[in-house]
Structure 1
Amino acid sequence: MKLTGSIHNSFVIATTAFLFLACKETKKEVAADKEIVKEEIVKQKPNIIYILADDLGYGDLSSYGQVNFKTPHIDKLAENGIKFTQHYTGSAVCAPSRSSLMTGLHTGHTPIRGNRELKGQEGQEPIPASSITIAEVLKDAGYTNGAFGKWGLGYIGSTGDPINQGFDEFYGYNCQRQAHRYYPTHLWQNDEKVLLKGNDYTNTVTYAPDLIQKETLRFLEDNKDKPFFAYVPLVLPHAELMAPKDSIFKKYDGKFKEVPHTTKERYTSDYGPDINPTEYSSQDKPYAMYASMVDRLDVYVGQIVAKVKELSIEDNTIIMFASDNGPHKEGGANPAYFNSGGGLRGEKRDLYEGGIRTPFIVVWPNKIKAGTTTNMVSAFWDILPTVADITETTIPAEVDGVSLVPTLLNKGEQKQHDYLYWEFNIQKGRKAVRKGDYKGVWYKMNADKPGNFELYNLKNDEAETTNIADKYPKIVLEMKQLMKDSHTESKLFPFK
């Protein structure tokens, strides 16, 4: 039957409308499918947990040679992943080391190059708004970012506030001076001051690291269904030497021949009405307490690993562990007693190996071969380009680091550092350079009578016992030139 004109026109209009709507719905469905695919790609990106101990020495883990106490949970990370034997911190003290970690720049370029205190502020010199941090790079890649522990890179509300540097959440000590006390009156949750129950600098009821750990585990649970970056800068085992005298402490009580640390010592004041909150408390059993604090840190790491397994995200989660600098001797700690430096020369504040070489362990199930050890020479400023490489994210600025992904995955060609550089402007200025097996160290550079340049061959003399500068004048000249070329001027941290 042939359609009349009016019926034909109606049929055509209806058919056209149907096809239009069908096409429109198809486009919507395609767009929706694209979003689903995009979400799935984002979900596939690995979670990243970076755990940073505070003042833990190279030899303070049993997997790195410690025999006086055990760190089974961290040792298990080494068994399940890759252990670095020549990894270096950003600096020999807290703030510049963390600045180097966050920005991917060594101390000749990173904005914070020392522990610079600010009068009237609860917090240190802030990293500027122009700095590009790991958190900002990962945020661009779709990550939710949290920081839990000690920050030290800018007071609340400053450009260096972690919330202004790419983190969605922060809980802990904003100021590293406040972190000298484990029973502080308060911590910070983003920009909110959180008062700690029972703590008034006389009474010690609430142990801050336990609260910080609780918030860390909560963050993992809250973000288990999307890619997250958890930066966990633990305060342990930094002085003061203080922890609950629970079952962990009892394991070590009476085990060591103690040398009590009293208020007669410099920079020491006890809890009470006359306390100086930024100093350290006395400690009758400092060795047992130090061992228990490292043990407690290890327990925290074990809890994080257990939580990741409980949430069934283990196969898609990278866990990294390191320390911010070498071992300290404040508050009664004795690095020599425990061989905390692992036989390396120096400690916190030194640019010798003991002050800047750190344990570094990375676990990534089904990606990193378990039980691997590498002597790849690497440093804190490699972490940013490494996570950018892992997440296929562009770094919007130049960095000093290289991606460690080829070493982690044992795949592809690993770019090597031409050299590593450190500067630290204390006691008339200190600099160090490592190039290949050679390490140059120069102390008192700005003194009227500068100190002698020291050169060591780390392959033959890892403990830096024999200065061979006189035998290799050309290498010394090259090292001195690298020290000069690697430094950019800083008004806040002038090297003179």
Structure 2
Amino acid sequence: MKNISNRYRSSFLLPCLILLGTVAWGCGQKETNRDDDPASSKPNIIFILTDDMGWGDVGVFYQNSRKKEGDRSEPWQRTPNLDRLAAEGARLTHHYVSAPVCAPSRASLLSGLSQGHANIRDNQFDKALADNHTMATVLKELGYATAAFGKWGLQGDERYSEDGDEWPAHPLNRGFDYFLGYMRHRDGHEHYPKEGIYRGQKEVWRNRENITPKLDKAYTADLWTAAAKQWITDQVQNSNDDEPFFAYLAYDTPHAVLELPTQPYPEGGGLDGGLQWTGEAGQMINTASGKVDSWVHPDYAQATFDHDKKASTPEIAWPDVYKRYATANRRIDSGVGDIVTLLEDLGVDSNTLIVFTSDNGPSRESYLPEEYEPNKPTFFESFGPFDGIKRDTWEGGIRVPTIAYWPATIPAGQVIDFPSINYDWLPTFVNAAGAPAPAIADGVSLLPELEGGEINHDRTIYLEYFQGGSTPEYEDFSMEHQGRERNQMQVVRMGDYVGVRYDIESAQDDFEIYNVPKDPQQTDNLAQQPENQRFIGKLQQKMKDRALQSRMPNESAPRPYDDEMMPPASNGETEAGVTWKAYDGTFPWVPRVRTLEPAATGKASRPDPGVADKDHRALFFRGYIDVPADGTYKLYLSTAMGAVLRIHDATVIDADYGYRPGTERTGEIKLKAGLHPFRLYFMNGNREDVRLQLQWSGPGISKQPVPPGRFRRGR
């Protein structure tokens, strides 16, 4: 196995300098040096998400190295357009998904929330995405036209309209102006919706209309690409020049049944070539002809390999299942190239940010009579240099191929090995559009890294997930991982170190700890080594604490550590009171202020909006709450505009999206006695009424305002 280079070396124990640059926004946003750059205006954004494509499936990530080695017993795929995208942009080699299966992964991506806060967890397919901030709502608020194409699966099980064409979390109800795709999760298991060759007929919806009867011979990867191209063209040619666009393009391939396209990818690309949307019933796209499930890419149609690792014996043809898998990935690659050509033809490529990634690691299900080989998910080593596949929280199940391309801003050829995760993209896009992220967002903006900066965030990558069964016994995996019972799983990454827990029974279970830049296959469990136990012991406890401090329980996804009390912070000297910062600007939501320049700062005895001039639109209070005894505490908050309360990294009260001023929001949290850091974000909107009331109840405490004596701040 090959080691992965990593320039990110700062320990979680070292202080970090947070240098978050951003575009000017409102009156208080820090300015960057892009005033003379095309990207000084809001960029168009295209987010391309594949289904079950592994880190190892993309040429520039792994397949090209297999080709270079030239071992005929280890075949390789090709992704020339994605390789070009990476060469002209940035390759994020340590990018994670928030869960190793599609529904929770996509929910965290779209909401900007980790699996410690998202309402969709585990295998809750077709559950309604929470009615809160999403990528689409925030970008729409910032002036973007928004559209979603392809697989959704977050609509809610129950329809509520009389004519049966509505779901509570329809994309149009979650910030998108336009939708064309599969609504249900299981529909994405079939790639010919009308013919339903292997999985039965499915439904494709255009906004609130079922258009499946018109979709003869429409291979979904082609359908979504053609529809996205048409919508992007319309936005550029027919909309106001000041209105940027956001397109969410979610392929349902190479996941599930490995069906083939009808014909070669059309010649050329962009405005006049490649895939085209005709809009004619029976031939909605220009590849809706020929024979369904028939065309294999010529690079693979006659491909052979050394099946027995003996040069003296003839090579044999690739099994059909792998020709299909490679063709499905190559079709996506062609679609990406087609879209880039379209942007160039339209003259908007320079200021369009494209992100390409996957929803989780590779799958081993072909949904065909011919399954994959028993010892590998594919014979391409789609999991790359890692162990684990889809549904595993080893690196192979959660680390995904990720490329970011934005010619006006991202230096070509970057390799970013700073750890990041898919819930970082919402704050990144908002930051790129010139605004601060909502305070409830769990991710960090990746814009400084994408711009070429060397930024060290003191942040934690956090995942939790439940899945029965075990890690496959693939011969490529280490013996320690083969057949491992999954059940309750958890991952914490801090700097170079990844803590993994499988089959968790309690919060006291130890993490396996790996230095993944040096040990990508996770074979050297540092927690079991006697040397450096002082360092590893501290890290072990820090991971256990952070795992409890980064989440809130969810009744629909019970965990064995839900009833564990959150440990207090280890801190230095403190004094009475809190610190505060005030911000100017016009904020469409309660802002997370880390990218803003404060207009005023000070100290106070408690969180009180009266400490600052009422013309300041946002306030941020920080300090500790001195909890007197172990137990369950209930917090109560009401305000005239909006607020968000976090204790440690857990969001205890969200009084932002949909909040009715003056009403009371509550949250319960289990705390051990001691000092617990809090952050309170408050927005007054320049109103005469700047009320902010924070109360609590708990062991021996009836509902009452949190006493000033219970607030502490660092010296």
TM-score, length of structure 1 as denominator length: 0.80
Correspondence 1:410 to 2:452: yes
Tell me which residue corresponds to 1:264.
none
Tell me which residue corresponds to 1:324.
359
Structure ranking higher in helix proportion? 1
Distance 1:147 1:258, change over 3 A: farther
Distance 1:450 1:348, change over 3 A: farther
Task: Tell me if structure 1 keeps the 8 A contact 2:322–2:378.
Answer: no
Correspondence 1:62 to 2:59: yes
Q: CA deviation at 1:485?
A: 2.1
Tell me which residue corresponds to 1:152.
153
Task: Tell me if structure 1 keeps the 8 A contact 2:414–2:452.
Answer: no
Q: Which of 42, 62, 71 is matched with 1:45 structurally?
A: 42
Q: CA deviation at 1:398?
A: 1.8
1:5-404, aligned counterparts within 5 Å? 44-66=41-63, 67=67, 68-117=76-125, 124-129=126-131, 131-155=132-156, 157-185=166-194, 186-197=203-214, 205-224=217-236, 225=241, 226-244=243-261, 246-247=263-264, 249-251=296-298, 252-256=300-304, 285-331=320-366, 332-333=371-372, 334-404=376-446
Q: CA deviation at 1:198?
A: 7.1
Task: Tell me if structure 2 keeps the 8 A contact 1:258–1:287.
Answer: no
Task: Tell me if structure 2 keeps the 8 A contact 1:402–1:415.
Answer: no
Correspondence 1:444 to 2:461: no
Q: Which amino acid aligns with 1:483?
A: A
Q: CA deviation at 1:365?
A: 1.3
Task: Tell me if structure 1 keeps the 8 A contact 2:103–2:154.
Answer: yes
Q: Which amino acid aligns with 2:409?
A: K
Tell me which residue corresponds to 2:551.
487
Relative CO higher for 1 or 2, CA cutoff 8 Å, sep ≥ 6? 1
CA deviation map 1:135-191 (0-9, x unaligned): 111001100000001111114633321111100011111112111011123301111
The gaps in structure 2 that reach 5 residues or longer are: 1-37, 68-75, 157-164, 195-202, 265-294, 308-317, 469-486, 530-535, 561-715
Q: CA deviation at 1:418?
A: 2.3
Q: Which amino acid aligns with 1:217?
A: K
- Give, in whole Å, the separation in 2 of the partners of 1:258 and 1:207: 32
CA deviation map 1:351-401 (0-9, x unaligned): 111011111111111311111111111111110111111111243332111
Q: Which amino acid aligns with 1:73?
A: N
Correspondence 1:466 to 2:524: yes
DSSP-derived class of the 1:222 partner: helix
CA deviation map 1:177-212 (0-9, x unaligned): 11101112330111111124476xxxxx33222222
DSSP-derived class of the 1:113 partner: coil
Q: Which amino acid aligns with 2:129?
A: I
Task: Tell me if structure 2 keeps the 8 A contact 1:57–1:358.
Answer: yes
- Give, in whole Å, the separation in 1 of the partners of 2:521 and 2:133: 36
DSSP-derived class of the 1:223 partner: helix
Q: CA deviation at 1:245?
A: 5.6
Q: Which amino acid aligns with 2:377?
A: P
* Higher alpha-carbon deviation: 143-152 or 335-344: 335-344
Q: CA deviation at 1:42?
A: 12
Task: Tell me if structure 1 keeps the 8 A contact 2:94–2:419.
Answer: yes
Tell me which residue corresponds to 1:477.
541
Correspondence 1:433 to 2:492: yes
DSSP-derived class of the 2:336 partner: helix
Distance 1:141 1:415, change over 3 A: farther
- Give, in whole Å, the separation in 1 of the partners of 2:220 and 2:350: 31
Distance 1:453 1:173, change over 3 A: same
DSSP-derived class of the 1:432 partner: strand
Task: Tell me if structure 1 keeps the 8 A contact 2:144–2:244.
Answer: yes
Task: Tell me if structure 2 keeps the 8 A contact 1:258–1:286.
Answer: no
Distance 1:450 1:406, change over 3 A: closer
Q: CA deviation at 1:468?
A: 2.0
Task: Tell me if structure 2 keeps the 8 A contact 1:43–1:227.
Answer: no
- Give, in whole Å, the separation in 2 of the partners of 1:358 and 1:393: 27
Tell me which residue corresponds to 2:672.
none
Task: Tell me if structure 2 keeps the 8 A contact 1:187–1:196.
Answer: no
Q: CA deviation at 1:250?
A: 4.1
Distance 1:329 1:451, change over 3 A: farther
Correspondence 1:423 to 2:464: yes
Task: Tell me if structure 1 keeps the 8 A contact 2:55–2:382.
Answer: yes
- Give, in whole Å, the separation in 2 of the partners of 1:444 and 1:230: 38
- Give, in whole Å, the separation in 2 of the partners of 1:212 and 1:311: 19
Distance 1:193 1:227, change over 3 A: same
Task: Tell me if structure 2 keeps the 8 A contact 1:145–1:228.
Answer: yes
CA RMSD of aligned residues (A): 2.5
Distance 1:467 1:196, change over 3 A: farther
- Give, in whole Å, the separation in 1 of the partners of 2:350 and 2:118: 34
- Give, in whole Å, the separation in 2 of the partners of 1:459 and 1:79: 22
Q: Which amino acid aligns with 1:219?
A: W
Equivalenced residues, count: 419
Distance 1:321 1:417, change over 3 A: farther
CA deviation map 1:11-44 (0-9, x unaligned): xxxxxxxxxxxxxxxxxxxxxxxxxxxxxx9993
Distance 1:456 1:190, change over 3 A: same
